[in-house]
Structures are given as C-alpha cells and as structure tokens.
Amino acid sequence: MSNEMQAYVAWTNTDCPKGKGKIIPIAICKLKATAIRLGKGNGVQGTDCRVSPVKLIRSMDGWYGPINLIYPTTEDTARDNKLKISEAAIKKAKELGFTKEEIELLKQA
C-alpha cells in the first residue's frame, strides 16, 4: 500500500455572501468528479467551488490531517472517466492548434 494518495479539494469561503472570509475546504475527495459534485453551488454567492488536487500522506493507520475522505459513488466514477477522456481530448486539440473558441464549440456538440 502506498503512503501517498492523490485527492481533490473543493474550496469555499467562510463568508459566502461576500467572499471576504477565509478559503476553507468544503470536501476532500478521492475523485475530482466527487469534489465537483459536492462543490456545486457551495461557493461565494452560490457559485461552484474551486477544485484542486492535493497529495495525502498516510501516517500510521490514517491519512495526514483531520480529514473526511469521501469515496466516490458509482456515478462519480463514471463521470470521472468521462472527465478524464474529455480533458485528454482538449489537451490533444490544444496540441493540434485549436483555438479556445473552437474547443468550446466542440464541447457543445
């Protein structure tokens, strides 16, 4: 078993009406799709939370820090697989010289 794990954090603000508070994690999740789902509408003025990767470290019989790692649902796993495919396709399109506008059009198709 590895002593490190990639996880994703959905970040919110302690002052959601104005965004003048501290940035805090609302959820630390095993999959990006889960963090996106749990952060939906939970940011400042109902916006979606920012999601970023974080490395967790195993210490003794738990993960470093007082966290509650949320394991994905079956739907989260399916969404995450689609998300990875989409991100790979966008990266490939950028490498081929597609503009942001062209990529956005492809996303809508």
**Domain residue limits at 50:** 1-71
- For residue 17, what is the DSSP state? T
Residues 66 and 40 in one domain: yes
Residues 6 and 41 in one domain: yes
Report pTM: 0.63
Q: What pLDDT is stored for residue 68 in this prediction?
A: 54
Residues 31 and 54 in one domain: yes
Number of domains in the chain: 2
Decide: 9 and 51 in contact? Cβ < 8 Å. Answer: yes
Residues 60 and 96 in one domain: no
Q: What pLDDT is stored for residue 59 in this prediction?
A: 80
Q: What pLDDT is stored for residue 1 in this prediction?
A: 60
Low-confidence ranges of the chain (pLDDT < 50): 65-66
Q: What pLDDT is stored for residue 62 in this prediction?
A: 75
Residues 21 and 54 in one domain: yes
Q: What pLDDT is stored for residue 37 in this prediction?
A: 97
Q: What pLDDT is stored for residue 66 in this prediction?
A: 43
What tokens were used for 67? 């966290």
Residues 25 and 47 in one domain: yes
Burial of 47 (0-12, 13-18, 19+ CB in 10 A): middle
pLDDT tens digits for range 61-87: 777 644 556 789 999 999 999 999 999
Residues 32 and 81 in one domain: no
Residues 4 and 40 in one domain: yes
Q: What pLDDT is stored for residue 69 in this prediction?
A: 67
Residues 2 and 52 in one domain: yes
